[in-house]
Structure 1
Amino acid sequence: MKAVLLFLLPAMIFCSVSLASQDTLPPQEKRIRDLRIVPLPAVASNPANGWMFGFAPSATWYMGDPEDTRISNFVGNFLYTTKKQWIFSFRSNIFLNQNKWILVGDWRYFITSQPTFGLGSTAPNIPAENPNQAGVWWGEQQMDFSLFRFYETVLKRIGDSKFYTGVGYHFDKHSKINNYTNEAGGTNLAFSHDAYNLAKGFSTDSYVLSGFTMNLIMENRDNPTSPYERNFALLSYKVNPTWLGSDQNSSTLLFDYRHYINLSERRKRHLIAFWGYGNFLVSGNLPYMNLPSLGWDMFGRTGRAYAQGRFRGESMVYTEAEYRFPLQQNKETFGGTVFVNAASFGSRTTNEQLFTQINPGYGVGLRVMINKRNRTTISADYGIGQKGNSGFYLNVNESF
């Protein structure tokens, strides 16, 4: 399936509004500084949702003196589709005064649909019977569902170092799940979602994953919104006990590492960026839609060239490299990028080992910096993958 996501910004007008510079207050009374809100009206279209209309606002600000406090940011999506779907999300990364604490939030409410293709990295586009699971669909199957997500993590800085440690609470509820396909003979085959959940003892209509995370972060980027140099690392161990509301006990391990190599002291926007990401089921079982999946990281940036959820499994490894460069000799307004990525998924259910199949993607992108001080950037990318998969993506700030 070719997945296309197209955002058309009316008249291509981007509005950056400063609401709270608070320059008249004494330093000790300033709480929020240099608040910049970017309201982006959006029109979007893709095969799963039809046409979508709404807003994709973002904001940046400081919770202390910019000299010793990193920039905070949030990105939101408030969309309604011609298929009567609602997509609401609010994701934030907040640095408190002098970077002593970090608050990370990921809140979502979806009444939506998207295709799923089965487990592992070898799942095809066109529906057929799974050779590794007799009587089960393999390939594109449509799913309607609702999702309520509440993730919030609190991290405390370790002394004056670049390391943080903390805990988080993560809650997901998938409900009103419905599977269907237009392929002939489909009534004789079970859907990948239903077959997996029944085999693992989960409901096929609704399930809850509720757990807490133990986290270690190294935050060394010069600007978390759109970095030019240094690096970032996250190690997160998640426990989902039944006494906290999960349908079954389970645990997962996630790592995320990003590195930025500056190629010019004079033009720091000229750089190479690397990203490594892994998500693994450690113990127990996860419901189908909570398994590691492409495009389901916090900001939905993994897998440019493929649809969200195109690949899924009990284990996931993803890597990406991106060359970023300015397009103007002496100005920073316009920039470009060339990227390549690769993903692999393993599945115990289909007996597919991690790295058996690698799914690459590549593409190009345009960047428009609308706030040079905070580096707030509009990014537009076109990615191409294997087997006819491709996509156009528009986001706020860099992909990683």
Structure 2
Amino acid sequence: MSKLSLFLIFICVSGYAQQDSIPMKHFRFTPLPVIYYSPETRLGFGALLAANFETSKALDTTTKKSYAQTYFLYTINKQYDWGTMMRMYTPGNKYIVYGKFNYTFFPEYYYGIETEDPESKKDTIQYNRIGADVRLYKLLAKHFFAGIAGRYNRITNIDGGQGHFIEDKPPGYNDYWVLGVAPAFTIETRDNYVYPRKGFYLEALYYIYPTWSRKTYRFQSFKLDIRQYYPVNLFSTIDVVAFQFLANVNTGHVPFKDMADIGGSYTMRGYYTGFYRYNNLYAFQAEFRTQLWWRLGLALWAGGALTPEKWYTFFDHTIKPNAGIGLRIMMNRKDRLNVRVDQGFGKKGQSGFYLDIAEAY
């Protein structure tokens, strides 16, 4: 079942029609109030603050623009979701620093693991989650970076009722935490982080998760993210065709919330997050983005995913297709920062409505 969220975008008419951002030296802030609703949580509200900024003391064309955002949501059911992320480029792009943190207490639907019939496993669960993802890259040669990554995921106070979740007892059903480290490599030639129009991006990480205690799991995870952007000029000067390929390959004893899943606001929009949950995932998506009038833009996309039992047996299960259409509202013209309103569709009657800031990839 899709979630319904609504950003109060009248702020773009009352405030941003006159200025794109709040000036503060090299920082450009974009604040947004949020109203949120879903059947699991009921009414919620909160706020989001995004910031585009430069790290160079003197503005230059070499150092890429950095980006950060934070948000907080609270529902009348006393549930909450706080998250923050940052991707910072130091002067001369000598280092890339990425960090993502979140703390949540939200219910969600459980659709089983490693099944092609998710509806038969549908259940409602809730839990507390603390997550952290940190990566540090150093420039080796032009556009080539290498570094190290660390990831922490803690799932506690799981309440799965007496339904399919308790019957299945998936790995991690009785609370768990994992802490892994990874060598990391990336190639970065994108012209813009929040709205790339040209360039190439590749990131490869190989996480090793040791057994730290009885509440942890031992497994390995390889993640590959490849993106390519081609500028076109069909309707405006910022039109772009964007492609992305994702691979998430896991071996060992993988807890259910660390498996490769489909869905959400970024990968395979149109599916409920975790509708399909396997150890391995290969996904491809293509998207056309254009500016139509004033601050309003349009996006169209299509994609598909494979969920093999082993990393090399690609067609063990049927292809999971998706497609969708989205509205774009440009809140910051200087950095091309959009509010993203997407409606996606998948198989088995799946659909999803998403409202976020910046592009999906």
TM norm structure 1: 0.82
Contact 2:22-2:30 at 8 Å conserved across structures: no
Contact 2:309-2:316 at 8 Å conserved across structures: no
Match of 2:86 in 1: 92
1:242 deviates by 2.4
Contact 2:113-2:256 at 8 Å conserved across structures: no
1:163 deviates by 1.0
Q: Percent identity?
A: 23
Match of 1:29 in 2: none
Match of 2:340 in 1: 379
Distance 2:320 2:297 in 1: 27
Match of 1:237 in 2: 206
Distance 1:265 1:310, change over 3 A: closer
Amino acid at match of 2:98: V
- 1:37 matches 2:29: yes
- Aligned-pair Cα RMSD in Å: 2.3
Distance 1:363 1:266 in 2: 19
Distance 1:211 1:359, change over 3 A: same
- 1:177 matches 2:158: yes
Distance 1:345 1:63, change over 3 A: same
1:142 deviates by 0.9
Where in structure 2 are the equivalents of 1:178-217 lying within 5 Å? 178-180=159-161, 186=163, 191=166, 194-197=168-171, 202=172, 204-217=173-186
Distance 2:300 2:234 in 1: 21
Q: Which residue of the other structure, out of 263, 283, 298, is the alignment partner of 1:318?
A: 283
| Cα displacement string for residues 177-233 of structure 1 (whole angstroms, at most 9, x for unaligned residues) | 11137xxxx5xx6646x5222xxxx5x321011011111001111111110112111
Distance 1:395 1:354 in 2: 32
- 1:53 matches 2:27: no
Match of 2:262 in 1: 294
Q: Which residue of the other structure, out of 349, 354, 357, is the alignment partner of 2:318?
A: 357
- 1:279 matches 2:283: no
Match of 1:9 in 2: 8
- 1:335 matches 2:335: no
SS in 2 for 1:40: strand
Contact 2:235-2:290 at 8 Å conserved across structures: no
Distance 1:385 1:265 in 2: 28
Amino acid at match of 1:51: L
Contact 2:219-2:253 at 8 Å conserved across structures: yes
Contact 1:339-1:363 at 8 Å conserved across structures: yes
Match of 1:151 in 2: 133
Match of 1:164 in 2: 145
Q: Quick check: which has more Rg, 1 or 2?
A: 1
Distance 1:246 1:191 in 2: 17
Distance 1:272 1:222, change over 3 A: same
TM norm structure 2: 0.90
Contact 1:9-1:40 at 8 Å conserved across structures: yes
The structure where strand makes up a greater share of residues is 2
Equivalent residue pairs, number? 352
Amino acid at match of 1:292: A
Distance 2:38 2:234 in 1: 41
Distance 1:157 1:276 in 2: 24
Distance 2:170 2:86 in 1: 33
Q: Which residue of the other structure, out of 103, 112, 120, is the alignment partner of 2:114?
A: 120
